[in-house]
């Protein structure tokens, strides 16, 4: 039986966090599930808070998830990193994803699809269990132990999140593994729950400006101006939508 730990990050949205926790605890299937709720300096904490830290200037959600990962006192077969503003189609969602990943040793990261998302390639494809993508949205990431042991989680330097999954996906494909969207499991993302609405967080507009600038500069400085083409060398040919190229162009509009 696979051991899974779900790690949820919360900042002053205990209502959303508690609702998600309540849904997760009723997930059923052939697995054991622990749930870790990380409080990122909230004034109002979730009743399910497991661990947390003071965070006056808000260090970002990548930092929060990494803090939760570091706080765990045992190892798991899978780690499920979650934003708190989500809901899933039914209580078999986790089990379906686990069954798919267990059948494919190289599939180390899987995200549910999202019907209303604008993220490239995130909608379900008919007749498939999952489809490979260059990157997926940082909302719900189910990751195998061997990938976490080798790569950790998303780089916590990405305070603004944008770009963190791109670097992580590059590592995965460069190591001969793969990631995808699950076509038989969907999620609902409520969105916009943190921007300018909680303690010491900036507006959505300001966040987007800073996120683009950070991602643009980070990749240029670490991987060079041609980083997107270098990353793309490792993508399977079946991937038709290349978010390395799409988002590089988008981030450079901040200049």
pLDDT digits (tens, 9 = 90+) for 184-195: 999 999 985 544
Q: Where are the alpha helices (DSSP H) in the chain?
A: 14-24, 61-71, 93-103, 145-151, 164-174, 204-223, 227-232, 243-251
Model's pTM, two decimal places?
A: 0.95
Burial environment of residue 236 by CB neighbours within 10 A (0 to 12, 13 to 18, 19 or more): exposed
Closest CA to 128 of 181, 187, 189: 181
DSSP classification of residue 28? -
- Provide the β-strand partners of residue 82: 8, 140
Q: What is the pLDDT of residue 196?
A: 45
- Report pLDDT digits (tens) over 78-132: 999 999 999 999 999 999 999 999 999 999 999 999 999 999 999 999 999 999 9
Give pLDDT tens digits along the chain (255 positions).
999 999 999 999 999 999 999 999 999 999 999 999 999 999 999 999 999 999 988 999 999 999 999 999 999 999 999 999 999 999 999 999 999 999 999 999 999 999 999 999 999 999 999 999 999 999 999 999 999 999 999 999 999 999 999 999 999 999 999 999 999 999 999 985 544 455 556 677 888 899 999 999 999 999 999 999 999 999 999 999 999 999 999 999 855
Residue keyed to tokens 């089990």: 95
Closest CA to 84 of 3, 31, 162, 24: 24
Cα 114 from Cα 116, distance rounded (Å): 6
Domain 2-254 in CATH 3.90.550.10? The answer is yes
Domain residues of the chain, as ranges?
2-254
Tell me the three state secondary structure of residue 245. helix
Q: What is the pLDDT of residue 195?
A: 46
> Hey, what are 132's tokens?
């490979």
Are residues 134 and 235 in contact, defined by beta-carbon separation less than 8 angstroms?
yes
Cα 154 from Cα 162, distance rounded (Å): 11
Are residues 162 and 251 in contact, defined by beta-carbon separation less than 8 angstroms?
yes
Cα 245 from Cα 134, distance rounded (Å): 10
Are residues 173 and 234 in contact, defined by beta-carbon separation less than 8 angstroms?
yes
Q: What is the pLDDT of residue 208?
A: 87
């Amino acid at each position: 039986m696979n051991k899974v730990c779900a790690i949820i990050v919360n900042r002053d949205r205990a209502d959303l966090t508690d609702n998600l926790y309540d849904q997760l605890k009723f997930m059923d299937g052939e697995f054991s599930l622990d749930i870790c709720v990380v409080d990122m300096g909230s004034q109002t904490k979730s009743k399910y808070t497991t661990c947390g830290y003071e965070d006056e200037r808000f260090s970002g959600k990548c930092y929060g998830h990494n803090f939760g990962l570091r706080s765990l006192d045992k190892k798991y077969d899978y780690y499920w990193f979650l934003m708190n503003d989500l809901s899933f189609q039914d209580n078999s969602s986790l089990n379906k994803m686990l069954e798919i990943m267990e059948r494919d040793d190289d599939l180390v990261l899987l995200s549910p699809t999202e019907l209303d998302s604008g993220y490239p390639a995130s909608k379900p494809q008919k007749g498939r269990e999952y489809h490979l993508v260059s990157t997926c949205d940082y909302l719900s990431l189910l990751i195998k132990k061997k990938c976490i042991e080798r790569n950790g989680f998303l780089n916590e330097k990405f305070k603004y999140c944008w770009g963190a999954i791109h670097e992580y996906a590059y590592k995965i494909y460069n190591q001969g593994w793969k990631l995808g969207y699950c076509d038989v499991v969907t999620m609902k993302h409520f969105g916009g729950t943190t921007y300018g609405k909680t303690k010491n967080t900036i507006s959505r507009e300001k966040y987007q400006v800073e996120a683009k600038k950070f991602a643009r500069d980070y990749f240029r400085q670490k991987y060079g101006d041609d980083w997107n083409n270098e990353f793309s060398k490792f993508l399977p040919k079946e991937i038709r939508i290349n978010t390395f190229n799409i988002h590089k162009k988008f981030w450079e509009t901040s200049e």
